[in-house]
Structure 1
Amino acid sequence: MEKLRILHTNDLHSHFENFPKIGRYLQKAQQDKTVDQVLTFDAGDFMDRSHPLTDATYGQANIKLMNSFNYDAITIGNNEGISNSHEVVEHLFDHANFPVVLANLREEDESMPHWAVQDKILTTKKGTRIALIGLTAAYPLSYEPNHWHVKMLKDAMDEVLPKIEGKYDVLILLTHVGLNMDSFLAHNYPEIDLIIGGHTHDLLPHGRNVNGVWITQTGKWGHYVGNIHVEIDDKHHIQRISPHVVATSSMREHDDDQKTILGYRERGKEILSQEKVADLPEKYDGDREAAIDISLDAIADFAGTDLAMLSTGLFLEPFKKGIITKYDLQKILPHSMHVVRSKLKGSDLWRLVMEIEKNRHYLDHFPLQGMSFRGKVFGQMHYRGIKFDPLSKAVFVEGKEINPAKEYQIAVLDHYVLVPFFPTLAIVGDNQFLFPQFLREVIGDYLAKKYPIIGSETNGGPKEPN
């Protein structure tokens, strides 16, 4: 009987506060002599540019740390594939010592990205052939503007499975598609033995068996590490899969851990603080309204529209007078969000405003997580170029009552298209996602033009790799 131990992580999201413990746990477990072999995998979203060190190094700090975790293979999540420019992703894994398995992402010409493989066959010390297939969340609206072609899960599986038929004994998927889609895969592809998943931050303490397929996921942020024991008979057939998780909080902390963790943040702060963006006048000092107003101008200018909208919960801190740096903007607007130019008929724009106004009081203190939001509450929506009369329910655009038949363009965020509060945007909006700049970069570029630093050149920020 062959005994394997599979260690796995998902959705670490640059929560470096858990990395020291996770690293020690993995390295010790990888020396386990009670089993024949230990394998280690990650299911994506290991990086998150809301952390200053990740942002400053374009994820290279994450890769360096992950190299020390001794992964046998990983797949990517949307925080790698969508929250970075195409150029950054092309070089993200230049120094990785682990393979990236990814069956459903292609270059625009349909070629395989040079940094990934569609599938991989691992042969254990006892000769069991393990096929690995990686899948990431299929978001064409976000991937295509970033010059990628993302395949639907079924299309990718139907393409790769015939190619590897007869070449493996055990089939493992590394997925960043969420629990519902993992269940879909389990129902439709019973030849799968194990899915190591992520994306929806579900904690499955003992896994979930769906149609004979084991699905595992460890929640989020490195709060847990997955630990699966697998027994395989002499004919290389799986006899037993026993998933469970280990809480990071149960792992012993070392005396220097907090210093190490603080050092990650301080290093990111140091790098980003060197990049001066603009010299703001006194009217912006602590004035959130002023910050929102100029940010509305910034996204409208970027999208080439007269209309725009932004919510107050995006701004974790107000602007300050004087020199503002990349680090300041990263603290104020840590979200990995992009500007969207949306075309709407006047009747649909009216409906969008009604959705906003109907939900205004509810959203003001609504706690929000996910969909690239890194704040606490949604907050109040502010408009540029739009006025609403609550008594008559009339909407005015640039001082004139809205024309139901006219076509309007408004600058919004991808976040607003994804959240469930404003269905008009997602259902009838003709939405163009504008990549690769983040919201904070769009605002920073606008501030630099409007309030340049006199007597010195502004830097372009930490350079993307060539």
Structure 2
Amino acid sequence: MEEYEVIRIFHMNDVHSHFAEWPKIVRFLKEQKRLSVERGETCLILDIGDHVDRSHPYTEATAGKGNVALLNDAAVDFVTIGNNEGITLSHEALDTLYDEATFQVVVANVKTKEGDLPHWAQENLLVETDEGTTIGIVGATAPYEVFYAQLGWAVEEPYGALRRAIDEVKEESDLILCLSHLGMNDDRKVAETFPEIDVLFGGHTHHLFEEGEWANETLLTSTGKYGTYIGEVVVTVDRRTKRVVSRKATVHRVARLEERLEDSLFSPLLIKRGEQALEVPVFHNRSPLMGNLFGESELASQFGRALLDATGADCAMFNAGIFLGHLPKGIVTKRHLHALLPHPINAAVVTIDGALLLHVYEKTKSPEWPKLEVRGLGFRGTLMGKILFERLFENANGDVFVGNERVRHGETYTLATLDMFTFGYFFPELADCSITYQMPDLIRDILGSYSNNL
């Protein structure tokens, strides 16, 4: 008998509903699990969150349950949730997302509003290998407190939740794994705070550790984004003492895996299924609504009015780059709205002083805005486009008005905008303002609802 037991762990994170390579991923994972069993090894497969992304029509049409079916097919054993599972789905959609899952969800810091563990999650788990080695598994996700609260959930800061989860399993565990959708910097801090963790599987910030990274005695791993890589960690354990002897991380580039002719048909088929399911009429359009990346348009004007109608705000601000196409004349369906506004973005209402509103307005005049490339923050387009306003304008004399009243220092206004403008990247000036988010509706839902009532 070999002196050491081998525990082989495959992992992925932040797939974001990128399914072009999914058949290769599934085939590879199933084959690796088969080979591990033949060698007498323990094999685990993990997903570290944000597998769901509502910008994909299949995910949108199935409210993420299609993603769960794909994870089932890949023989995944354990997952944690990312923010795309946690705060882009309605409460009901998340509460039923894992009903058909053949894997277990591990997340210690998401609770019901009453403070109980959701029925679909575990704070921690203990798994015993055939050799009698006990593996403790814990998990945590990024704590977007305001968003979770508005959706009827409670989210804890992750460190206290992880402390509790680790303490419950550490005495019985020979090996502790952490599934962390917290991001690279937090992962390093988690490793420093909890030396009990042997391997931390990361995500959220889309970082890639091709051979892992050591933080004190913890091995950190992550595979980037979009299913470009599959991670592999090999842990060896002394059979007699159950002491962890070694840990080694590597990644497999999915583009280099075996490809079959039929693989190219898979992603288009999912898109087609999703689009067919989204062929649900929403409203009738009297004439086409065209967008304009670098200026005003009828489409933008209707969207601006929809924002004001949904929020009751005094004025609105958004960017023309959110519109990825146009709306046709005649029946507009959920498919049309999804194609136009695929972004998992919510509306936000900022309560703002007149002086700051004027400052923000002036800032948006910069010629650099329209061609600014935007990545992340829920945005699924490419360029920012022109910053547009509704019921906020400047007259020939240079005075700025909200409706019929000139904006004045010391007066308070409400500005409807996109949540991505409130996160501090583009307008850090808004960070100290009072902000409320319109949830669970996404901006495409707001446009559809308003247009249906015209």
TM-score, normalised to structure 1's length?
A: 0.93
- 1:391 to 1:7, Cα distance in 2 relative to 1, 3 A: farther
Q: Are positions 1:82 and 2:105 aligned together? A: no
Partner SS state of residue 211, structure 2? coil
Partner SS state of residue 46, structure 2? strand
In the alignment, which residue of structure 1 is the partner of 2:320?
312
Match 1:31 to one of 5, 28, 34: 34
In the alignment, which residue of structure 2 is the partner of 1:336?
344
Q: Are positions 1:3 and 2:6 aligned together? A: yes
In the alignment, which residue of structure 1 is the partner of 2:267?
261
Q: Distance in 2 between matches of 1:261 and 1:188?
A: 41
In the alignment, which residue of structure 2 is the partner of 1:145?
150
Partner SS state of residue 217, structure 1? strand
Structure 1: tracts of 5 or more residues without a match: 451-466
In the alignment, which residue of structure 1 is the partner of 2:403?
398
Q: Distance in 2 between matches of 1:286 and 1:387?
A: 20
Q: Distance in 1 between matches of 2:396 and 2:130?
A: 71
In the alignment, which residue of structure 2 is the partner of 1:173?
178
- By how many angstroms is 1:207 displaced? 0.6
In the alignment, which residue of structure 2 is the partner of 1:463?
none
State the number of aligned residues.
Answer: 445
In the alignment, which residue of structure 1 is the partner of 2:23?
20
Match 2:444 to one of 440, 448, 466: 440
In the alignment, which residue of structure 2 is the partner of 1:454?
none
1:370-395, Cα deviation, whole Å (9 max, x unpaired): 11110011111100111246985x43
1:155-190, Cα deviation, whole Å (9 max, x unpaired): 212322332231211111001111010001011111
In the alignment, which residue of structure 2 is the partner of 1:408?
413
Partner SS state of residue 364, structure 1? coil
Q: Distance in 2 between matches of 1:182 and 1:389?
A: 51
Runs of 4+ in 1 over 6 A off after TM superposition: none
Q: Distance in 2 between matches of 1:272 and 1:64?
A: 19
Q: Distance in 1 between matches of 2:307 and 2:257?
A: 45
In the alignment, which residue of structure 2 is the partner of 1:462?
none
Deviates more, 1:400-409 or 1:143-152: 400-409
2:21–2:263 CA contact under 8 A, matched in 1: no
Q: Distance in 1 between matches of 2:289 and 2:370?
A: 23
- 1:121 to 1:408, Cα distance in 2 relative to 1, 3 A: same
In the alignment, which residue of structure 1 is the partner of 2:208?
203
- By how many angstroms is 1:74 displaced? 0.4
Q: Percent identity?
A: 32
In the alignment, which residue of structure 1 is the partner of 2:247?
241
Q: Distance in 1 between matches of 2:355 and 2:146?
A: 24
- By how many angstroms is 1:449 displaced? 0.9
1:285–1:321 CA contact under 8 A, matched in 2: no
Match 1:431 to one of 426, 432, 435: 435
Q: Are positions 1:284 and 2:289 aligned together? A: yes
AA matched with 1:296? G
AA matched with 1:309? M
Q: Distance in 1 between matches of 2:288 and 2:171?
A: 69
1:415-462, Cα deviation, whole Å (9 max, x unpaired): 11125111122x222101111001101111111111xxxxxxxxxxxx
Q: Distance in 1 between matches of 2:290 and 2:387?
A: 21
2:98–2:120 CA contact under 8 A, matched in 1: yes
1:52–1:330 CA contact under 8 A, matched in 2: yes
1:132–1:172 CA contact under 8 A, matched in 2: yes
In the alignment, which residue of structure 2 is the partner of 1:361?
367
CA RMSD across the alignment: 1.5
Q: Distance in 2 between matches of 1:104 and 1:265?
A: 33
- By how many angstroms is 1:77 displaced? 0.2
Q: Distance in 1 between matches of 2:252 and 2:421?
A: 36
Q: Are positions 1:227 and 2:232 aligned together? A: yes
Q: Give the alignment of 1:41-52 within 5 angstroms.
A: 41-52=46-57
In the alignment, which residue of structure 1 is the partner of 2:189?
184
